[in-house]
Structures are given as C-alpha cells and as structure tokens.
C-alpha cells in the first residue's frame, strides 16, 4: 500500500520557461488512474503578482500564491528567468520555511539559482546545466557543483541539469515514492525510455539509437539478455567486431558511460525490478543479476540505492511487472 505523496507546488513567474514548467505539470499534474496508486495533487503557485508572461509571450494567470508553499510536500522550481536577477525575498523565505518543516525541493536547470539564494544548498553537492555550472560555483562558493551528472539527490533536495534532465529527476522522485515499476510506466506514457540514473553524463555525443542500424544496439540488447553471466569488455567488443579501444570509445559516445558502469547500472535496474515484482530470494536475485556473491550484491545495491535489498523490497515490493522489459528491445 503506497502512502499518499501529497501536493506538488510548481512555481511560475515572469519570464518562465514553458518547457520546464510543462515537464513538472505533465508528470505530477496529470491524473493517472491506470497506475492504481494514490497520485500527487498539484498547485500552480505564482511568485509574481498579476498576469505573468512566459518566454514566447504566453500569458499566465494564477490565483494561488506563496501561501501554498506552507503545506506542499514537494516544491518544483523550473529554470529561473534570469540567473542574475535576485529571487524575491518573500519566495526565499517561503522556501526556507517549507524546507524546515520537511518539504522536498526539486530544481530544474537554472532553478538551482533560486535554491542557492536561500542558503539551503551550502555544503551540498548540486548540478545544473553544464553551461551554468561555473557561474553557479563562482557565485556560491559554499556549494559543490558537479557539472557532469543529470541530477543529484541529496535526500530532501534534488537538483537537475539542463531542461530534459528535469524529466529524469521527476521520474527519479516518482521511483522514490512508488518504485521503479511505476516510474517506468510513467516513462512509457511519455513515450520515452526508462529513467536514466542521476550519475549518467550530461555529455552524450550520440544518443542511444533505437534503430537496428546502430552497431551497438545489438550488443546492448545482448548484455541485457545475459546479465546473469560474467561479461568482459573483450567479449562485448568481439560481438561487434571492434578492437577494445574502438569499442570503449564508441560505447561511451553512445551511452555516456563506460561499459563497466553501464553494466553495473543495468544489473541494479534488473535487481530493483525483481525486488519489486517477484518474491525471489536475495541470493537468487544476486545470481540472476550477475553478482558473484550475495554480499557483493548487497553492498553494490545499498551504495547505489541507499537501502539494502530487503528494505527496498519492503518499501516498493508488490507492484506489477515493470514496463522496462518492453523498452529494452528498442532502447
């Protein structure tokens, strides 16, 4: 039985980026009766008085004001209108009060500049669009900025990289609340692949192609079909008739990760799915996902997810079979 995730407050203001606002509204604002879980309620919250104008001239009129932040469980900050424009003090105070009572904060792209101005990010590791990372680090030297990841989850605060990475961060929050099988179902509704992990690089030179013409697509599918086996880079390279050096370069260009990191990610994704949707033993899951011992599996899982496998199953188990399997053949 899933707990009620509460209200998501999505901020709007003069100069709003419609795309990033739309991400939050699409993911948290649409009813999803097909999921059979208690979904989020949402409120659109005006930062500025009167009708506001988003980028492109779209006029926005919102009745709810900052008082909504007093009860929201999650607050989403889309990209800020101007990184050099100080956020209103009333907004900063409202965010600080919300954080103090336990509300979660999620910024998309340059929305992190608003959170940084509150002082709540001091001493934390965050991310933003790679183009803004140096500016963020220079203006807020107490914050550690990682420009190489899609999003950073520090518990109560999630920061994401450039625009589309906001989708991954929002799906990650859904996975925290409901499990990966629900997050993957939402991803399928959005007609996109299952959520990318936060540690994946922002710099993907060539996206993973769904076409059979992509020379690595066959080996990616083969890896996913053989996660229970020990797999070496040499063996992967041989399947596409490449030298190891060429294979490593092409693999990183295609996925944004090294083969070792990508394989670990896929093994853990499979483990999460099995923990959520089966009653298979921890030892059986470790073997099915290619780990040499239960101990090494538990350590890797806890390091990546923040929970031991047993606690993860207790929290997220009992869901329907993940939609991820339907995606991997085309990913």
Beta-sheet pairing, 151-153 with 104-107: unpaired
Residue, of 241 and 256, whose pLDDT is higher:
241
Query: CA-to-CA distance for 324 and 149, rounded, in angstroms?
Result: 22
* Closest-CA residue to 112 (of 89, 155, 83): 83
How many CB atoms are located within 10 Å of the residue 246 CB?
A: 12
Residue with the bigger pLDDT between 244 and 216: it is: 244
Give 325's pLDDT tier (boundaries 50, 70, 90).
very low
Looking only at the bridges linking them, the beta strands covering 74-77 and 104-107 are parallel
- The pLDDT value given to residue 179: 85
Burial class (CB in 10 A: 0-12, 13-18, 19+), 294: middle
Residue range 125-137: mean pLDDT, rounded: 94
Instruction: Quote the pLDDT of residue 2.
Output: 64
pLDDT at 329 over 50: no
Domains of the chain: residue spans and CATH = 7-189 (3.40.50.880), 205-331 (1.10.10.60)
**Region 110-132 average pLDDT:** 96
Q: For the segment 32-67, what is each residue's pLDDT rounded down to a tens digit?
A: 999 999 999 999 999 998 889 998 889 988 989 999
Which among 255, 245, 247 is positioned nearest to 224, based on CA atoms? 255
Give the mean pLDDT of 262-267.
Answer: 92
High-pLDDT (> 90) share of the chain, %: 62
Residue 114 CB burial class (10 angstroms; 0-12, 13-18, ≥19): buried
What's the Cα-to-Cα distance from 62 to each of 11, 12, 25, rounded to whole Å?
A: 10, 8, 14
What pLDDT, on a 0 to 100 scale, did the predictor assign at position 253? 81
Report if pTM > 0.85.
no
pLDDT at 193: 65
Cβ burial 12-25 (10 Å sphere, 16+ → b, else e): bbbebbebbbebbb
Q: How far apart are CA 168 and CA 197, in angstroms?
A: 8
pLDDT, tens digit, 9 for 90 and up, residues 168-214: 999 999 989 998 888 888 988 887 766 566 655 554 333 334 433 46
For residue range 71-81, what is the model confidence (pLDDT) as tens digits? 999 999 999 98
Helices (H), the chain: 18-24, 89-100, 112-118, 133-139, 165-178, 180-189, 217-225, 233-239, 244-255, 259-277, 282-288, 294-305, 309-316, 324-328
Q: How far apart are CA 256 and CA 113, in angstroms?
A: 26
Q: Whole-number mean pLDDT of the chain?
A: 87
pLDDT for 331 = 34
């Amino acid at each position: 039985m899933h707990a009620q995730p509460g209200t998501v407050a999505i901020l709007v203001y003069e100069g709003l980026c419609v795309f990033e606002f739309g991400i939050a509204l699409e993911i948290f604002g649409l009813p999803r009766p097909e999921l059979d879980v208690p979904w989020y309620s949402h409120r659109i919250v005006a930062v500025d008085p009167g009708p506001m104008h988003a980028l492109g001239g779209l006029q926005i009129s919102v009745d709810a004001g900052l008082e909504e932040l007093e009860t929201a469980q999650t607050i989403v900050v889309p990209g800020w209108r101007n990184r050099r424009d100080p956020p209103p003090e009333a907004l900063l105070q409202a965010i600080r009060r919300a954080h103090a009572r336990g509300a979660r904060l999620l910024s998309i792209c340059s929305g992190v500049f608003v959170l940084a101005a509150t002082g709540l990010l001091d001493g934390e590791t965050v991310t933003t669009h790679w183009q803004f990372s140096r500016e963020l680090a220079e203006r807020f030297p107490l914050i550690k900025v990682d420009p190489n990841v899609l999003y950073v989850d520090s518990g109560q605060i999630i920061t994401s990289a450039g625009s589309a990475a906001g989708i991954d961060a929002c799906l990650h929050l859904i996975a925290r609340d409901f499990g990966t099988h629900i997050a993957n179902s939402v991803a399928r509704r959005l007609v996109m692949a299952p959520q990318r992990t936060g540690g994946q690089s922002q710099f993907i030179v060539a996206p993973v192609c769904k076409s059979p013409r992509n020379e690595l697509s066959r080996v990616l599918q083969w890896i996913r079909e053989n996660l229970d086996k020990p797999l070496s880079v040499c063996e992967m390279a041989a399947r596409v008739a490449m030298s190891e050096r060429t294979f490593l370069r092409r693999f990183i260009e295609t996925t944004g990760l090294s083969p070792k990191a990508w394989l670990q990610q896929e093994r853990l994704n499979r483990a999460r799915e099995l923990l959520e949707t089966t009653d298979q033993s921890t030892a059986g899951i470790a073997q099915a996902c290619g780990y040499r011992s239960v101990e090494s599996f538990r350590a890797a899982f806890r390091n990546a997810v923040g929970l031991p496998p047993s606690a993860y199953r207790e929290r997220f188990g009992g869901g329907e079979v993940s939609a991820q399997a339907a995606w991997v053949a085309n990913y």
